[in-house]
Each structure stands twice: as structure tokens, then as C-alpha cells.
Amino acid sequence: MIKKLFDRIFRPKLSKAAHAKSEHGRSEHSKTQADRSILGTKKSARKYTHNKDSAAIITYKQHQINRSLLSNAALKTIEGLQKAGFEAYIVGGAVRDLLLNHIPKDFDVATDATPEEVNRIFRRSRIIGRRFRLVHVLFGDETIEVSTFRGHHQAEGDAHITESGRITRDNVFGSLEEDAVRRDFTANALYYDPTSQEVLDFHQGFADIKAGVLRMIGNPETRYAEDPVRMLRVVRLSAKLGLSIDAATMAPIAKMADLLQDVPPSRLFDEMLKLFLSGHAIESVSALREQHLHHGLLPMLDVVLEQPMGERFVMLALKNTDDRIASGKSANPSFLFATLLWHEVLVAWEVYKTEGSHVIPALHMAMSEVIATQAEKLAIHNRYTATMKEIWAMQPRFEQRAGKRPFSLLTHPRYRAGYDFLLLRCESGELPAELGEWWTAFANAEGEARAAMLQADTAPKKRRKRSRKKSDAITES
């Protein structure tokens, strides 16, 4: 009887205390199902899982996030997690973009459920990643990335920090508040609960967004040392979103740029791809140059950008990509990387030719060399390098306008990419504009008109015959 009375009076307080304790470590995740249902079903209890003093609660009236812009998949993921008694929020880029009136391109969810727990809740889900273990939850063709709140990253548990302070593995789970500290910018550390329509803000991210400022959470130097990719992110996100970079966030970049050399090439590739396909490639690359962050990223991109011809070509290619994205078209990464490295190929090609190699073998050697040098810094996926090589290898064929060859080039599966590439070369002044115009007209012409064009542009016969054998033999190998 006394025990029952004791329970009735103290039980709620005890459960709150247990909950508060769980904020500071993994013990949260070993709580029993009974505890969880208390925490999960009582909305008031869930609200106190973070330190309310450090999180401002931004109400719907203030943020005005339009719920209809949320993806259904994200809503279903949150609903599934919350029904199972977990906390779940939309976090990161999506909340930031919504507040800036941009349409988010993807939705990330943060939760206190472990990857295994998330995986058990959603039938169509899988655990991925090593550096960060995450769960991909699939709804139709949409994928929602669900991450468990990260804790402090002492080099203990499943975490690893290098001597320079770089975090190479990070699977220590923690509380919502700890998760917020671990995010890069204040604007990226907002947690939106679509059920309550509240945004939790631990680092004045809402005010920064309203003021148009990108600000690093914590000490910028330490944060860049932990993960040098953040230097690229700050440049990319400010260009993409039109946010200015806070002075203290900007200050250490120039002297820390070299740290990017230690980042694994595959991560750099992913980040650079995002940057080039952000729709704001020109601004991003210009900002990278201002911050001296482009050195060594695409090896010798810095050199290319310093040659007037190379710079013109790269900038035209980026402009072309930005325009495509602005008009809702897709941009092909292979095409883009082919353009970025083309002037490197041209230089190497020239060297091989001067050394006595024939034209086409020299081109192929140059292509392989440029890709190999590149791979040391930025691992361009094989699926892209194959297409890049096809686009490059096609280029000499555009200069042959006689006989049957132009017809066979038109049937090449990558003709369109090769042709677009040719047009950029013409536009940049590398080739006469007339060549691009000829191909445009030739592709559009029909029957006899097409044949007539050929005759008009026949090159001297002797040279053509000789180069035909060699080029065909190599190109088709």
C-alpha cells in the first residue's frame, strides 16, 4: 500500500529524471520498452528530453514553414519513429532551405533511435556507412536519410580522431542537444517537428538565417581541423543560398586550406560534385579561388584557371551547367568533369605529339595520364571516367568532315555530349566557330543536302587517307 502510494506520487518525477540523465549518453538507447512508451506517448515528457534553456522554440507563427512543401516520405518516416516512441525531426539543409524559401532537394531526419531500431521499424530500410552509420528509409523512389543523434566525439567507443584533429569515424550517439553542437553551421542545426510544427534552435540559427549569415558553430579553427571539408561547404552553401559568411567563420580558411590535402579523394569528389551541380558553380569556383581552396583540388585546375584559354573554357562550361540547372534540366557529371580537365588533356596531348607519338595514340595516352593524376586527389568514379574518355576521344573525329565518317559519328551513342563539348570548344575560341556551325547544320540537314555539305568541306585527300587508318584503328579499340 505504502509502496503504491509512493509510486503514484514519485513515479512521474522519477521517469523525468531518468529521461534527463539519458541526455548525456548512450544509456538513452538501452532504456526499456516500458520507459520508452512513457517517454514516447507523453508529449509533455518528450518536450523535456532536451535542455529547454538552451533551445529556443520557434513557433509556426514565427517560422511559417509551409507543411505542404514537406516530402511525404519524410513525414511518414517521422510519424513511424514518433509512433514507436522516439523523437524525430527534420533537420539540416531542408529546414534551412524551407526558411529561405528554397525547395529542399532532400530531407534528412534525426532521431534518438539507434540505426538498428530505425531499421526494425521500417521494412524498406537499410543501414549504411562506416564513418557515420545511417539508415536509408525508402518510400517509392524517395530515400530519407535517418541519423541517430551524435554525441561528443572523444576518441572512445566507435569514433576515431587523427593527430591533426580530423574525425575519421564518428558513431558515438548522444542527445539532441549534443547532436546540434556537432553540426557545422547554425543554419544547419535547426530541428523541425512537423507534428508540433515547432523548430528547436540551439545556436541562434533562426536569427542567422533571417540575417542572411552562415556561421560556424563553436570554434571555427577546431571545426575545420576536425573536418576540412567544412571549408568547401561554407563556400558552396554561401554561394548557393546567397548567405554571407560570418567574419570569424571565414578568417581561418586561408591558412587552413592545405588541410584539404588529407581528405580522402572520394569525399572530396562527392563534395565537389555537389558544388559543381549546385546551380551556382560559377560563384562557388570564384569563391574557392578567392579563398585559395582550389589548389590541388582538381590537380592543376588552378593552373588551368590561370591560362586565359583554359579559364574561358572552364567558366563557359560552368555557366552552361548553371544555366541547365536553372532551367530544370539535368547536368551530366561526366560532361562537366570532361570540360574541367580538357585543357590538361590538351597540354599532355601536345607533349606526347612533340615526343613523336601519332595523333590518336597521343590523345589516348594524355587522357589516361590526366585521369590518373586526378585520381590521387579527387576520385572521379569509374562510371564517369569512361564517359569522359569517350567524349574526349570523339573530339578529333569532329575535324573530319569528308567521306562516311561524319555519318558514323552521328550514330555514336554519346554523339550529343561530344557535340555539346565541341560547341564549347568553339565558343571558347579554341576552334573556329565555323566548325561547330557546320556540325549543327550537318546534323539537321537531310539526304542530299547533307551529302552536299560533305563535298564542300573535303580535306586534302592524301592526309585524310593516312590519318583515317590510324585513327579508326585506335578509336575503335
Among 112, 170, 179, 184, the active-site one is: 184
Residue 274 interacts with which of ligand ATP, Mg ion, none, CB < 5 to 8 Å by class: ligand ATP
Rounded Cα distance between 97 and 204, Å, is: 16
Query: Judged by CB, which is closer to Mg ion: 214, or 367?
Result: 214
Q: Which of 29, 274, 358, 464 binds ligand ATP (CB under 6 A)?
A: 274
Residue 183, interface with ligand ATP (CB under 6 A)? yes
- Interaction pattern, residues 106-125, with ligand ATP; x per rule: CB under 6 A: --x-----------------
Rule CB under 5 A: which of 101-130 touch Mg ion? 106
φ, ψ of residue 25 to 5 degrees: the values are 175, -170
Q: Is 184 a catalytic residue?
A: yes
CB 134 within 8 A of CB 126: no
Q: Is 108 a catalytic residue?
A: yes
CB under 8 Å to 286, separation ≥6 — which residues? none
Beta-carbon count within 10 A of 388 CB: 27
Query: Judged by CB, which is closer to Mg ion: 148, or 471?
Result: 148
Q: Which residue has the cell 532521431?
A: 111
Residue 172, interface with ligand ATP (CB under 6 A)? no
42 φ/ψ sector (left φ>0, alpha ψ -120 to 50, else beta):
beta
Q: Which of 36, 203, 230, 425 binds ligand ATP (CB under 6 A)?
A: 230
Rounded Cα distance between 196 and 265, Å, is: 41
Q: Which of 80, 92, 228, 333 binds ligand ATP (CB under 6 A)?
A: 92
Rule CB under 5 A: which of 74-93 touch Mg ion? 93
CB under 8 Å to 433, separation ≥6 — which residues? 426, 427
459 grid coordinates: 580535306
Tell me which stretch binds ligand ATP (CB under 6 A): 30-38, 69-77, 222-230, 385-393: 222-230
- DSSP 8-state code for residue 277: T
Residue closest to 158 by CA, chosen among 170, 176, 167: 170
Residue 311 interacts with which of ligand ATP, Mg ion, none, CB < 5 to 8 Å by class: none
Among 97, 108, 170, 193, the active-site one is: 108
309 grid coordinates: 584559354
Active site residues: 106, 108, 184
Give the residues lining the site for ligand ATP (CB under 6 A). 92-93, 105, 108, 183-184, 188-189, 227, 229-230, 233, 274
